């Protein structure tokens, strides 16, 4: 499994990971081990770009929440 897919699945299943992403996406993605290209794709919110990195159809990528929450 690609690191990017693993990260997206983690955000979907782990509330703490999602909170970490929303409070500091770049830091959370760097700590998880995503490349700069993968991080840029996630931050763009562009499903086609993310799908291209994953090698799947954009229709198979869920909506990407790029909103950060200030605490």
Burial of 21 (0-12, 13-18, 19+ CB in 10 A): buried
pTM of the model: 0.85
For 32-69, the pLDDT digits (tens) are 999 999 999 999 989 999 999 999 999 988 777 767 66
31: pLDDT strictly greater than 90: yes
Boundaries of every domain in the chain: 3-60
Instruction: State residue 51's pLDDT score.
Output: 95
User: 70 or 16: whose pLDDT is higher?
Assistant: 16
Instruction: State residue 68's pLDDT score.
Output: 65
């Amino acid at each position: 499994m690609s690191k990017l897919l693993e990260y997206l699945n983690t955000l979907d299943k782990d509330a703490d990971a999602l909170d970490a992403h929303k409070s500091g996406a770049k830091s959370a993605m760097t700590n998880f081990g995503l490349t700069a290209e993968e991080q840029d794709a996630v931050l763009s919110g562009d499903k086609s770009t993310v799908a291209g990195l994953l090698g799947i159809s954009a229709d198979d990528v869920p909506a990407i929440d790029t909103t950060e929450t200030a605490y």
